[in-house]
Amino acid sequence: MSENLTVFQRIYEVVKKIPKGKVATYGQVALVAGNPRWARVVGYALHVNPDPETIPCYRVVDRGGRVSPAFVFGGQNVQIEMLKADGVKFIDETHVDIKNFCIKTDELM
DNA sequence: GGCGTGACTTATA
DNA sequence: ATATAAGCCACGC
């Protein structure tokens, strides 16, 4: 199953599973998608994001809970505001409270 | 089949 | 804390 889909498709499916009020790291998405070394591929996949309205890519942050340095949605600030709207808290201007809002790997599987 | 690219990650200074 | 280097791998041309 799912072996016909590309890695990108798998990544998109995983990102879509992220519940509101939670965030996931590239590493987590990559791991659930099938391989922990696809972190860069995850970033690339979201960069080409074919369905930004279906894929909550703003819930994906780097492993330290840091938002993207060059968020493509119109500004890094936009991503932060959307996460705050989801109920996610920040420890500073660019760092999400990953310690309490990072979803568990098994929650995506 | 090969090359360049990148929203990552880890290590080092 | 930031900056730089190297490793990692799929996609598109």
Task: Indicate yes or no: pTM above 0.85.
Answer: yes
The nucleotide whose C1' lies nearest the CA of A43 is: B7
Catalytic residues of A: 57
Nucleotides of C under 7 A from a protein CB: 7-12
Instruction: Kindly report, residue by residue over A88-106, the tens digit of the pLDDT.
Output: 999 998 899 999 999 999 9
Residue A76 has pLDDT above 90, yes or no: no
Cα–Cα distance list, A91 to A44, A58, A96, A103, A105 (Å): 27, 17, 6, 17, 22
- Which sequence spans correspond to the domains of chain A? 7-103
Residue A2 has pLDDT above 80, yes or no: no
Looking at domain A7-103, its CATH class is mainly alpha
* % of chain A residues with pLDDT over 90: 71
Nucleotides of B under 7 A from a protein CB: 5-10
